[in-house]
Amino acid sequence: MNRCAVLGSPIGHSLSPLLHREAYAALGLDWVYEARVVTEQGLAAFLAGVDASWRGLSLTMPLKRAVLPLLDEVSERARQAGGANTVVLADGRRSGHNTDVPGISAAVRERYDGPVGRAVVLGGGATAASAVLGLADLGCRHVTLLVRDAGRAALTVAAAARHPDGPTVDVRPLAGPAGPADVLVSTIPAAAQTAELLARVADVPVVFDVVYDPWPTPLTVAAEEAGRTVVSGLDLLVHQAVLQVELMTGLPGAPLEAMREAGRRALVARG
């Protein structure tokens, strides 16, 4: 039996098992994918205990960064991002990858085919770092990073510097001016999306909120009402999951639309 899992704490909310199982069914694979509660402190012990039946792991924060010293190989994308959300287990070795970055760029391109020269990113954590790298892949040359804690932004700025075509990053307080942009990416909770903040970013034509539950968020409601292009957290989730399935199984053709519809139905059922 081939086994995969998503690790984190808490992890019960994750849609990853549903999405990966949908892919396995479409690919004709009799594989198992489950959710496992694993803390940062317990990650090394979990990895040491996996046997040859294990093929891959999906990781949530803070495990994405904690896993790096425990890997035998780290992809260039994971090195740039400073975190791996995917671990492929093969031949007794652990290789780390980051599918968040290409997932972000693919999610934007699916909804919008215009220029991405300037962007605003809300938040400065690990997801913001992946967002900046994904935007850089789309040709972004300048990012305004609006953050509540400037100290957290250092890792995101460092990630941008590791990209060969990394954009300049201007770090400002969350209450500061956003400036002009082609794309806005929010990595902050819905509760932090105040009316005052929404007013400052109202003119950005493409709005991408990485949150998928709860949905919609105040930011995306305002964007849809204004006729903006909206990219959802579910879009990101399914794009990066397709890439994870390909890495873990070695098979192309994971069914993006079927996975997205399965995720959408699950979110509707949650209310």
pLDDT at residue 271 greater than cutoff 90: no
- pLDDT of res. 226: 96
| pTM as predicted | 0.96
- pLDDT tens digits, 41-54: 999 999 999 999 99
Query: What are 100's two structure tokens?
Result: 């968040």
* Delimiting residues of CATH 3.40.50.720 domain(s) in the chain: 102-231
pLDDT at 152: 84
How distant, in Å, are the alpha carbons of 82, 97, 107, 130, 240 from that of 102? 15, 11, 8, 9, 7
Tens digits of residue pLDDT in 94-112:
999 999 999 999 999 999 9
From-to residues of CATH 3.40.50.10860 in the chain:
2-98+235-270
Task: Say if residues 218 and 232 touch (Cβ distance below 8 Å).
Answer: no
Task: Determine the 3-state secondary structure of 91 from DSSP.
Answer: coil
Q: Which residue from 175, 173, 172, 178 is spatially nearest to 194, judged by alpha carbons? A: 175
Q: Which residues are identified as catalytic?
A: 64
Question: What pLDDT is attached to residue 61?
Answer: 86
Tens-place pLDDT, residues 211-236 = 999 999 999 999 999 999 999 999 99
Looking at domain 2-98+235-270, which CATH architecture does it have? 3-Layer(aba) Sandwich (3.40)
Average pLDDT over residues 173-179: 92
Structure token digits, residue 117: 């020269």
**Matching CATH number, 102-231, of 3.30.70.20, 3.30.1360.120, 3.40.50.720, 1.10.760.10:** 3.40.50.720
Residues pairing with 13 in the sheet: none
DSSP helix/strand/coil, 258: helix
CA 255 vs CA 29, 35, 65, 240: distances in Å: 13, 21, 29, 12
